[in-house]
Amino acid sequence: MKRQVFNPYLPLDTYIPDGEPHVFGDRVYVYGSHDAEGGEYYCMLDYECWSAPVGDLTDWRCEGTIYRAEQCRHYCEERQDIYAPDVVQGNDGRYYLYYDLSGRDGHGFDGPISVAVCDSPAGKYEYYGDVRYQDGRPMTRFIPFDPAVINDDGHIWLYYGWGLGYDFSDPAQQPMFHQVMSGIFNKPVEEIRSEKESVLGANAVELQDDMLTVKTEPKRILPATTMAPKGTEIYDHSFYEAASIRKVKDTYYFIYSSKEGHELCYATSKFPDRDFTYRGVIISNGDIGYHGRKPEDRLAVTGTNHGSIEQIDGQYYIFYHRSTHNSLSSRQGCAEPIVIESDGKIRQVEMTSCGLNGGPLAASGIYPAAIACNLTNGKAHHLSATEENPDIANITHDDKDRFIGGIETGTYIGFKYFEFAGNEKLKITTRGTGQGKIFVSVQMDGEPVAEIAVKATEDWTDSESVGITGLKGKQALFLKYVGEQTISLLKIEFC
C-alpha cells in the first residue's frame, strides 16, 4: 500500500494550530502556534515549522524550532506565549515572521506586532523589530493581534485585529464594553471612545520595504459584531479573530474566524484595503452549516478555528485546526481540498480523515482511532475557556498512546472516507470498564452492517474480526458504542 496521509496530517503527538501554509520554492511550509499536549493554555511552546514537498503531501518533516519566545525583546513574566504567526518573503529575498507575544489571564494583549527575520523559510529566525510609525512609535491602533501579511507585487500589506462575539451597540452596555476593552487590552477609555469605527474589527495597513514602518493609518476592512449591520450575513458571521490573506488572480481573499468561533469564513475584494464583501463559510470544525447542519447537531465538539487557503501543486486546500482533550488548549492541524469556482465562490467543505490524501484511504491495514473526524454522543458542545466543559468522548493521550477516551453508550465515532473492495473484515482495539457492542455502519444513523462484542479489560485488547462484506467504493465508516460504563478506542484494523 502506498504511503497515505491522514487528518491530522502531522504526528498525533504534535499540536500546531493556527496553520498558515505557504509554498516557497518546491516545498510547502506550515507556520502556526504550538500547543502543549494536554496543555493548560494556548500557544505555550515555541514556534515549530513543518514542511513537505509540493508533489508529496504525505512526506511531512519537522524543521525544528524556528523561533523562541524568549528571543523577543518584550519577553517577560507577563508575556511568555507567542500566538498565531505568519511569514512572508520580503522584497530583499529574506523571510519575515510576524507575531504577537502575549500573556495569560488577560495580560499582554496590547501589542505591538513584532517581526523576526531569516534568510531561509525554516531557518533560525532572529528578532528584527516591531511594527511602528515613521516617528518610531509602536503601531498599536485598534487591537494589534493575529497578524497576516502578503507581498502583493512588491507592496507589503499587513492585516490584523480582534473582535468580541457580543453586541455592545446598546448605549447602556458601553460602560461594560469600555471596562472589558481597557482591562484586556490596556487601552485608555479615551482611546476606545475616540474610535468611531470601534477598536474591534479587521484592519489593513501597508508597510514600507523595511517590513516594519507603516505608510499610512490602518483601514477597517471588516467589522466585528459591535459595528456589523443587524439582519445581514456579515452580522451573523462578523469578524472575531484569525486574520489571513491570499490573492487569487486579481482577487483578494480575506480568511478569518467569525464570532461563532468554529468556522473559517472568507470575504473578497478587488482591492487590498477596502470593499471586502462577505462570501461564505469554508469549513467548520463541527461541520455546522455543512448541508444545513444545525449547531445542536454538530459532529464534534467545536472550539477556536484558524487557518488559510493555499494552492499546492495545482490544488487548493483549506488548512484549519480541531480541538482534542475536550479542551481549547490542545489543537491539531487538519486540511481539506477546496474548489474555487469560476465566480470566485468557495463552497463549504466537510471535515474528513483523509484531507490531504488525494482521495479516500485504503480499507486495508491499521489506522489510529484518533484520525476520526466525527465524534459525538449527540450532545457535542462548543468548548468554553472560562467554564468547566461537560464530559464527552474525546481524543486524548497517556504516556504511550493517543486514543479516543470516555466513550459512553450512544457515542458515534466517524471516519471519512475509505475505499472498500467488498470483502473486508474489521477488528478494533479497546480497553476500559465498559462492555457491550460496537455497531458498524456507513452512516451515523444507518443500518448496521456488522457488530463487534466489547468486553471490559484493563489492557488494550483486540476484538474478534467481523466481516463487513458488501461495502463497495468510497464510504464513511461509523462505529456506535452501546453498552455499560465507558471504553477507550486505540485503533481499527482492516484484515
Residue with C-alpha cell 471596562?
179
Is the distance from CB of 33 to CB of 84 less than 8 angstroms? yes
Which residues are registered as beta bridge partners of 230? none
Contact in structure between 440 and 469 (CB atoms under 8 Å): no
Q: How far is CA 423 from its chain centroid? A: 37
- Cell numbers of 192, please? 476606545
Which amino acid makes up residue 427? K
SS3 489: strand
Question: Which of 394, 416, 441, 390 has its CA nearest to residue 290?
Answer: 416
Considering 241, 263, 336, 424, which one is annotated as catalytic? 241
Give the three cell numbers for residue 74.
Answer: 518584550
Catalytic residue flag (residue 447): no
Which residue, chain included where needed, has cell 496590547?
110
Cα separation of 350 and 134, whole Å? Answer: 45
**Residue of 18, 263, 310, 401 with catalytic role:** 18
Cell numbers given for 487: 471504553
Handedness of CA 317, 113, 43, 264 (dihedral sign): negative
Residue 191 known to be catalytic: no
Query: Per DSSP, which regions of 235-326 are E strands?
Result: 239-248, 251-258, 263-269, 277-284, 308-312, 315-323
Contacts 24+ apart (CB under 8 A), 325-328: 325/37, 325/38, 325/394, 325/395, 325/396, 325/397, 326/301, 326/383, 326/389, 326/391, 326/392, 326/394, 326/396, 326/406, 327/38, 327/39, 327/383, 327/389, 328/42, 328/303, 328/304, 328/383, 328/384, 328/385
Kindly list the catalytic residues: 18, 241
